[in-house]
Amino acid sequence: MTEPQKHELELLKGAADEPYEKGKGKWSRLLKVLQLSTIYVPAIQEILKQGKWQNQPNPIGYVRKAAVRRAVRHGLVEIRRKRGQEALPPEISSEHERLGEEYKLIAELCDLDNQQKRQPLVRLLSQEVLDQEVLNEAEEVDWGKVARLANLDPGERIVLDLKLMGLSFREAIGACVTAEDRNILNTAWRRFDRHKHVVKQALLTGKPQHILRKGSVPELELMFTEGDDGRLKIFFKKTVSK
């Protein structure tokens, strides 16, 4: 582990052990490294509380991505335009409210028919991809495991993350900072669309899948910044594989 990585880990541990109100100095340094503002503090606290960041190869990247996703999910920040509520069967409305974009993405990937949509997700997906330790709530999907089982490349994993935030292709492209970012995302999104069937099989079977690839894809990290309109903007940082 490099010195910068050790420093990042210490920042995360320090913030996890001390509330924001009592440790504003530590939190200020952490927010600077995460490149997030104070509005994300509640979301970051929840992610740190879960503890999963401790077992990640890139803890800072994991916390950044998970915190932004949680903040978007709970309406703390905006990254896409408002859309109407989807009418759903009463028996799964509470599950949809809790899972939000996750539920819609699963329905899209697995081509669920109306009858299947009336069943809890736990009955539809493999037990191998369900995470039963998320805040002691009902089962949710472990998307990191799904990405590994589906053998998604770094760009495809970013597309998965953006879809989980509820972004369509046009919205995600529109949120990119530069033309180069748009080109990277466009190419990755096309690859993801070609391989959606593999993600479906990973969700339904919980078994490793194989994708025949032509050449390698650079390691990418999804980054966020705030635009002039106050909405989130996205860009990509190429990283060195550890």
The CA distance from 34 to 67, in Å, is 10
This prediction's pTM? 0.77
Give the pLDDT confidence of 159-172 residue by residue, as tens digits: 999 998 888 899 89
Residue 231: exposed, middle, or buried by beta-carbon count in 10 A (0-12, 13-18, 19+)? Answer: middle
Contacts of 140 (CB under 8 A, 6+ apart): 99, 102, 130, 131, 134
Give the pLDDT confidence of 47-82 residue by residue, as tens digits: 998 888 888 888 998 899 888 888 887 777 776 544
Which of 95, 146, 88, 101 lies closest to 120, judged by CA? 95
Which three-class secondary structure state does DSSP give residue 209? coil
Give the pLDDT confidence of 103-161 residue by residue, as tens digits: 788 888 888 776 666 667 667 888 899 876 653 444 578 898 999 999 999 999 999 99
